Amino acid sequence: MPPVFMHKKQSADHWISLSDIMTALMMIFLLISIVYMIRVQESVDIPRIFKAHEQQLYSQLQQNLEKKLGKWGATLSPDLTVRFNDEDILFKVGSAELQPQFKQALDEIFPTYLREMMDKRHIENMREIRIEGHTSSFWAHGVDAETAYINNMHLSQQRAQNTLIYLLKSPHLSAQEKAWLKKKFRAIGYSSALTLDAHGQPTKNAKDEDMNNSQRVEFRVVTNAEERIRAVAYGEL
């Protein structure tokens, strides 16, 4: 074969091979782009799905517990937080022992609350449920702010723990429900870190604090939405 033709054939083979490589690279980049778009869409869908579940669970809780919560001066927020802040039924001043009225309120409210949380439509979305103890910033006259905070920290922790202990010993719960309670519920004391104003909203400065509203026990739901989004981002789902 003449050298000219051999050179043309080698040149044509070279461009064919190069075009094959470019095509393969384009396919790889296209595949990566598709996977990325799917991940982005999933990360967008997860919060929307969790929000829908939250709204559905809120409606269920409101329907089944509204009267009982109102009876005991408790409230339910759209974020599923149940708040007990009627100081007359919770604890005596400076005490972590549950008063009889608070025990009765828990007996009436908590079994229904727990069963709604364990509903098969929602249970997989639950990371944990926190029983939070909160106090006002006041401890006693003549006590400095740091000492008051530390004393209230111990008190709020004891109140949250005693609430959880009472529920674990409840005769109104099954063995399965108590097992889930031990697995998912946490008792946390916040001292006066999250005080409230007269409208039940977080305070922006100390002068807005409402002592009565700040002294409370809350049941707060923490979902696993953030973990699911992170798993999607890192390709673990």
Contact assessment for residue 223 and residue 125, using Cβ atoms and an 8 Å cutoff: yes
Do 23 and 106 lie in one domain? The reply is: no
Do 129 and 219 lie in one domain? The reply is: yes
**Pairing mode of beta strands 126-134, 185-189:** parallel
Q: What is the mean pLDDT of each run of 10 residues along the chain (237 residues)?
A: 50 58 72 62 59 84 94 94 93 95 97 92 86 95 93 97 97 96 96 95 93 95 69 53
Do 164 and 66 lie in one domain? The reply is: yes
Helix (H, G, I), strand (E, B) or coil at 134: strand
DSSP characters for 120-131? TTTGGGEEEEEE
Order of strands, sheet of 185-189, starting from the edge strand that comes earlier in the sequence? 74-76, 82-84, 216-223, 126-134, 185-189
Contact assessment for residue 56 and residue 121, using Cβ atoms and an 8 Å cutoff: yes
Do 36 and 106 lie in one domain? The reply is: no
Helix (H, G, I), strand (E, B) or coil at 73: coil
Question: Which token pair is 36?
Answer: 């990325």
Do 140 and 160 lie in one domain? The reply is: yes
Do 90 and 27 lie in one domain? The reply is: no
Name the DSSP letter for residue 204. Answer: S
pLDDT in tens, 191-220: 999 999 999 999 999 899 999 999 999 999
CA distance 85 to 163: 14
> pTM above 0.95?
no
Count how many domains the chain has: 2
Do 51 and 14 lie in one domain? The reply is: no
Which residue range(s) make up the domain with 162?
Answer: 45-228
Do 91 and 9 lie in one domain? The reply is: no
